[in-house]
Structure 1
Amino acid sequence: MHYTCPLCKTENKIDASFHPVEYVCKSCSNLIDVSKNTSTKVVKKPIENVVLEIGQQGVIDGTAYRVTGIIIRKYGSSIFWREYYLKDDKGNSAFLSESDGHWVFLHLINEMDVKRKQNGKVAELHGVNYRWYETTQCTIHAAAGFFEDRLNFGIATYKEWVNATQMISQEQSGDSLEYFFGRHISKYTIKKAFNIPNLPNYTGIGIVQPYYFNIKQLINIFCVVALLICLLQVYVYTTRSNYPVFEQSIRFEEVKNKEMVSKSFTLSGGSAPMKVKVFSGVDNSWANVQLSLVNEKTNEIVYTSKDIEEYHGVEGGESWSEGSTTEEFNLCGVSSGTYHFLISAERQETIDTTVPASTYTSPDGTVTIKRENTGLINVINNNTFESVLFGDLKTLEGDQTGTGNMVKKAFEGKNLDSLLNINAEPLPAVAEPVTSSNYVDIKATWLPVSFWNFGIILVLMIVFFIGCYWGRHLFNVAKWKNSSNSPYPQS
């Protein structure tokens, strides 16, 4: 259909299956009465956040619609929302309403289908109750396109009832009274339907905006997940055998600077922690155990190292102690399979300060030097039978007293260290006594299936659900914040 503006002669056309009563010239913005082909007034062009154009096509719920009209309504001095008039190929009407980035898709309904209850505070449609949200008075601020009813630029009254993501809207403009059924439609659906690159961002919460989660679906999902977890836990528990898998006492000398490969052992059932207990009778010393668990099928290695330390003493008349001769740790999540250990260990070495005793007398017989088993150097004046102890030969050689000078004179030109070693007789070798400090005891046990992770998951699910439920309450409070008929207490 083509309509030529009687004022600016601009051609206005629309491919639609209805006959408009009025249209707004796209060039001069005059509102033209089609029957009289005259202008009734000049209207503002809709430009505030308008994203659709007259004649633009889009598909919603499988039905192709064409935009035939755009109206911007104004409430108060600064609140605007946009209404897009749509027509399908059969001439059926639909409407898109957008406010603060929130979209509602509406259709005309029969006034007789809406039942008013509780003095208008509740509206019933097809057995569903809708709560009165607000009554708003507004005017047409701007308009564009083609309209099959005359536009009323007077004050229009909107009354809205809401139930979750659906609503009933009553529009009274002059003598005209119309009812609309609307539902939330996401901006991404609009973007895809009309191939729009950009849409207004959300501001606040829309009147029929859905909560971020569907609580009923969330309950169903959580119940199914919890049931699956329970069944899995029962399966793992019933297919597990819990037993010690390795136990051995190992001499430190056997694994010093090398690794020992243990016997293989097989684990069957679900994954579970492996507890390792190590013991060594350390006494004011330390030991270290390095343990690697090797999966013989995958060659995966879990490495760990543990220190065993125990110290004690007396200080200020009070006994003290720290550390322990036993340490325990867990290898988490060990699954079924065949394994062995690689073991190495070391301990604090005991320093043997004893050296073979040796004695040497000077050629003139005046001085005797004796190296004690403790390593101390004893200088004896054979004339006076006086003796002086030195910590070592180096200290003696650096001594500037009479004793030091006497030794230098008596052994002039001789190497004292060589003399003492030559004359020394080695001490007989003594085998190290067998004590608990010479060994490290290692015991590994595959623990029972832990219910800790199972319980943690269920608790987290419950906490998440409670958080979502409480969040939905806060969401609804915020949604009804701008309503004077909120079912929630307003602070």
Structure 2
Amino acid sequence: MDHICPLCRTNNNEMAIDFAIEEFICSHCHNLITLGQSAQKKIVKKPVENVVLEVGCKGILHGTEYWVINIVIKKYGSNTFWREYSLKDRAGNNAYLSESDGHWVFLRPVDFAFKEFKYYAEADGKKYRWYETTPCTVHAAAGFFEDKLPFGLATYKEYVNGTEMISREEYGKSVQFFKGNHISRAEIKKAFGILELPYRSGTGIVQPFYFNVKQCTNIMAITALLICVLQLYVVTSRTNKTVFEQSINFADVTDKEVVSKSFVLSGGSAPLKVHAFSDVDNSWANVGLSLVNENTNEVIYASKDIEKYSGYEDGESWSEGSQSEDFNLCGIPAGNYHFLISAEKEGGAKDPFKTGYRPANADFSIVKNDAGNFFLKNDKDQTISTYNETEALANDIMQRTGLPNSIKTKGKLDSILLNMPQEYGYPENYDKNPSVDITATWLPVSFWNFGIVLVCLIIFTVVIHWMKRTFETGKWNNSSNSPYADN
């Protein structure tokens, strides 16, 4: 399409498509030329600031190929500007891109007048709230115009519903109606192959929220319902009971661990409460537990000190600590388990029979205390027999071992027994606090995590509704008919 400027003789042939025009602005001398006339009409300011598209450039929007046929910068008041790009497809249909503060709207003309009321308008069965009525003038322009370019005062009246808008443009007796939608910056860049767009500030008149709040709320509600159902299943699918109970002798776990019997935890994950008791008195004890999952070989370790001290000072008695301690192993899932148990107490737990007198080939050991009494411990049944006289003990030793009952043998045994080292305080000290009692209880399913998740879902839902309201309030900041005017 060639249009030669009658003033500077520049051939304005930027367009690759042909359509009928009434006026054009020369790209060289910027004169507004009426087709068929040679007289100078008006020099028009060239659109420069924040203009990113050029007359004649091509882009594909919503599957249709468009050419930019003109650019008009509109002015409201003394310092409010926005840019309008007129588009035309190969079939001759018109569309428009409007950009303000970096926000883009794609508009198409409609051939019907929508119904207007005081604060809203109706189109296609949908209500649009009145946003603003804006008087404006043409500040700068370039390109080709199918009608005369109006430089007088024009009036825009805009109505908004979410990401859609309808508008009425009135200039003199001429009235045009448009319907538009938000279009993203990414779509503009892709359509026209440009890299930089005007800086975006504020909230666009039909800019969508970052995500669909209604869908998000529905997802939160469904998630909360599923969590409730799952929690109900977890609660009803298991019983709460004592799953392990054992008394551990400190002497049996000196420098080693004891492997407990296996036990089964069934149902949903829940805390395993461990209760440990030891008859400490002005002393301490420690128990170490390793919970072993026999299905996965995962190990959870815990250690607990048990201590109790008391006394009498300045005429008053005092006490601190306890003979029992409770602790939880949290979030234990169902499965087969056993404990590895270690324990120790203040002063150790040495078994005096391990260093006592043991005859050759015998299945028993003998110790002697500081009172002159003898004690024989049977290895088979762990029973302990007490003897007050060496003669009775010597006879029992000969009977148990099959030694000859002779004066020589008795004399030798008497010498050994009389010269044995003494275990001072046995059996009182040895029997004091000999063990720690361990009980493990499969607790009720905890509602703590369940409650935290539900509270987080509720807080998230409230926050996104607050964000949406704040977003919409910002969108209507420039409107004289804001539904949030009383906030």
Q: TM-score range by the shorter chain?
A: 0.7 to 0.9
Residue in structure 1 matched with residue 89 of structure 2 by the alignment: 88
Residue in structure 1 matched with residue 406 of structure 2 by the alignment: none
Unaligned segments of structure 1, at least 5 residues? 353-372, 374-423
Residue in structure 1 matched with residue 111 of structure 2 by the alignment: 110
SS at match of 1:327: strand
C-alpha distance in structure 2 between counterparts of 1:327 and 1:193, whole Å: 71
Structure 1 segment 307-322 matched on structure 2, within 5 A: 307-322=305-320
C-alpha distance in structure 1 between counterparts of 2:349 and 2:247, whole Å: 24
SS at match of 2:197: coil
Residue 452 in structure 1 maps to residue 461 in structure 2 = no
Task: Kindly provide the CA deviation profile for residues 209-262 of structure 1, in whole angstroms up to 9, marking residues without a partner as x.
Answer: 223332221222122222322332233333334332221111222223222222
Closer/same/farther in 2, CA of residues 42 and 281 from structure 1, 3 Å limit: farther
Please report how far the alpha carbon of residue 479 of structure 1 lies from its aligned counterpart in structure 2 after TM superposition. Answer: 2.1
Q: CA RMSD in A?
A: 2.7
Query: Of 319, 329, 332, which aligns to 2:330?
Result: 332
What letter matches 2:332 in structure 1?
A: V
Unaligned segments of structure 2, at least 5 residues? 351-369, 371-418
What letter matches 1:271 in structure 2?
A: S
Alignment coverage as a number of residue pairs = 418
- The percentage of counterpart residues that share the same residue type is 58
TM-score (norm 1): 0.78
Q: Which moved more, 1:273-282 or 1:97-106?
A: 273-282
C-alpha distance in structure 2 between counterparts of 1:17 and 1:311, whole Å: 103
C-alpha distance in structure 1 between counterparts of 2:28 and 2:312, whole Å: 102
Please report how far the alpha carbon of residue 439 of structure 1 lies from its aligned counterpart in structure 2 after TM superposition. Answer: 1.8
What letter matches 1:138 in structure 2?
A: C
SS at match of 2:295: coil
Residue 266 in structure 1 maps to residue 264 in structure 2 = yes
Please report how far the alpha carbon of residue 298 of structure 1 lies from its aligned counterpart in structure 2 after TM superposition. Answer: 2.1
Residue 479 in structure 1 maps to residue 480 in structure 2 = no
C-alpha distance in structure 2 between counterparts of 1:239 and 1:21, whole Å: 82
Query: Of 121, 126, 129, which aligns to 2:127?
Result: 129
Task: Kindly provide the CA deviation profile for residues 55-98 of structure 1, in whole angstroms up to 9, marking residues without a partner as x.
Answer: 33333222222222221112222221111111222211111111
C-alpha distance in structure 1 between counterparts of 2:123 and 2:144, whole Å: 31
Structure 1 segment 51-450 matched on structure 2, within 5 A: 51-112=52-113, 114-118=114-118, 121-349=119-347, 427-429=422-424, 430-433=426-429, 437-450=433-446
Closer/same/farther in 2, CA of residues 283 and 175 from structure 1, 3 Å limit: same
SS at match of 1:13: coil
Please report how far the alpha carbon of residue 203 of structure 1 lies from its aligned counterpart in structure 2 after TM superposition. Answer: 1.0
Closer/same/farther in 2, CA of residues 326 and 64 from structure 1, 3 Å limit: farther
Structure 1 segment 30-45 matched on structure 2, within 5 A: 30-36=31-37, 39-45=40-46
SS at match of 2:433: helix
What letter matches 1:443 in structure 2?
A: T
C-alpha distance in structure 2 between counterparts of 1:85 and 1:286, whole Å: 89
Closer/same/farther in 2, CA of residues 139 and 264 from structure 1, 3 Å limit: same
Please report how far the alpha carbon of residue 291 of structure 1 lies from its aligned counterpart in structure 2 after TM superposition. Answer: 1.5
Residue in structure 2 matched with residue 2 of structure 1 by the alignment: 2
Please report how far the alpha carbon of residue 169 of structure 1 lies from its aligned counterpart in structure 2 after TM superposition. Answer: 1.2
SS at match of 1:297: coil
Task: Kindly provide the CA deviation profile for residues 151-197 of structure 1, in whole angstroms up to 9, marking residues without a partner as x.
Answer: 11222211111222221211112332111112222222222333332
C-alpha distance in structure 2 between counterparts of 1:292 and 1:149, whole Å: 88
Please report how far the alpha carbon of residue 447 of structure 1 lies from its aligned counterpart in structure 2 after TM superposition. Answer: 2.1
Closer/same/farther in 2, CA of residues 347 and 160 from structure 1, 3 Å limit: same
Closer/same/farther in 2, CA of residues 86 and 248 from structure 1, 3 Å limit: same
Residue 15 in structure 1 maps to residue 13 in structure 2 = no
C-alpha distance in structure 2 between counterparts of 1:233 and 1:109, whole Å: 55
Please report how far the alpha carbon of residue 115 of structure 1 lies from its aligned counterpart in structure 2 after TM superposition. Answer: 0.6
SS at match of 1:484: coil
Q: Is the 8 A contact 2:292 2:298 kept in 1?
A: yes
Q: Is the 8 A contact 1:275 1:447 kept in 2?
A: yes
Closer/same/farther in 2, CA of residues 41 and 236 from structure 1, 3 Å limit: same
Q: Is the 8 A contact 2:2 2:11 kept in 1?
A: no
Closer/same/farther in 2, CA of residues 199 and 313 from structure 1, 3 Å limit: farther
Q: Is the 8 A contact 1:17 1:91 kept in 2?
A: no
Please report how far the alpha carbon of residue 426 of structure 1 lies from its aligned counterpart in structure 2 after TM superposition. Answer: 5.8
C-alpha distance in structure 2 between counterparts of 1:425 and 1:256, whole Å: 25
Closer/same/farther in 2, CA of residues 75 and 241 from structure 1, 3 Å limit: same
What letter matches 2:480 in structure 1?
A: S
C-alpha distance in structure 2 between counterparts of 1:54 and 1:321, whole Å: 93
Residue in structure 2 matched with residue 403 of structure 1 by the alignment: none
What letter matches 1:27 in structure 2?
A: H
Closer/same/farther in 2, CA of residues 428 and 219 from structure 1, 3 Å limit: closer
Q: Is the 8 A contact 2:249 2:435 kept in 1?
A: yes
What letter matches 2:218 in structure 1?
A: N
What letter matches 1:13 in structure 2?
A: E
Task: Kindly provide the CA deviation profile for residues 421-460 of structure 1, in whole angstroms up to 9, marking residues without a partner as x.
Answer: xxx9964442354667332222222223223322322222
Residue in structure 2 matched with residue 29 of structure 1 by the alignment: 30
Please report how far the alpha carbon of residue 25 of structure 1 lies from its aligned counterpart in structure 2 after TM superposition. Answer: 2.6
Residue 464 in structure 1 maps to residue 460 in structure 2 = yes
Q: Which moved more, 1:142-151 or 1:445-454?
A: 445-454
Closer/same/farther in 2, CA of residues 283 and 66 from structure 1, 3 Å limit: farther
TM-score (norm 2): 0.79
Q: Is the 8 A contact 1:132 1:161 kept in 2?
A: yes
C-alpha distance in structure 1 between counterparts of 2:166 and 2:80, whole Å: 21
Task: Kindly provide the CA deviation profile for residues 261-307 of structure 1, in whole angstroms up to 9, marking residues without a partner as x.
Answer: 22222323322222222222222332222211122232221122222
